[in-house]
Homo-oligomer: A and B are copies of this chain.
Amino acid sequence: MDMPAPTGVTANCRRMSSVLSLIGDKWTVMIVMVLIERPRRFNDIKRTIGGISQQMLTRTLKALDRDGMVNRTVHPTVPPQVEYALTELGYSLAEPLRALGAWAGAHLEEIDGNRVRYDTVKGDELGKSAF
């Protein structure tokens, strides 16, 4: 190994990369957050989230099932009912997610202000002496 003193940063990058492909898409996070409250059935999740297509919900739930984040329970009734519940692993993700949500709540407004200011400055930049 001839890498020049990685300082651990690169390693962290790789790790984050894996997490991000896991929770990087919004639907995954949304579903986890919805299921934190209680287990729900397919269309229940769909309605609660709102704006998610049937296909994306199916896909994301399947991925979460595969990762062991949710449990998929089929009740052999007619019509079929399928209930999704977070596993222990799923709940454990909920924790850092909540931290992120808290951060959002604390800073989203500030960021929005920053954007407005940035855009305003950019807009005035060309003619700032003409104020």
By a beta-carbon cutoff of 8 Å, the part of chain A in contact with chain B is 7, 9-10, 12-13, 15-26, 29-30, 33-34, 37, 48-50, 65-69, 89, 92-93, 95-97, 99-108, 110-111, 114-115, 118-119
Contact = CB atoms under 8 A, between A and B. Distances in A.
Contacts of A21: 26
19 contacts: A9-B33, A9-B48, A13-B30, A13-B34, A13-B48, A15-B101, A15-B104, A15-B108, A16-B30, A16-B100, A16-B101, A20-B24, A22-B111, A67-B115, A68-B118, A89-B114, A92-B107, A96-B102, A100-B100
A16 B33 CA distance: 9
Contacts of A107: 89, 92-93
A108 B68 CA distance: 11
Given A9-B48, A13-B34, A66-B115, 18 more contacts: A9-B33, A9-B34, A12-B33, A13-B49, A22-B104, A23-B100, A24-B24, A65-B118, A66-B119, A68-B114, A89-B107, A89-B114, A92-B106, A93-B103, A93-B107, A96-B103, A99-B100, A100-B100
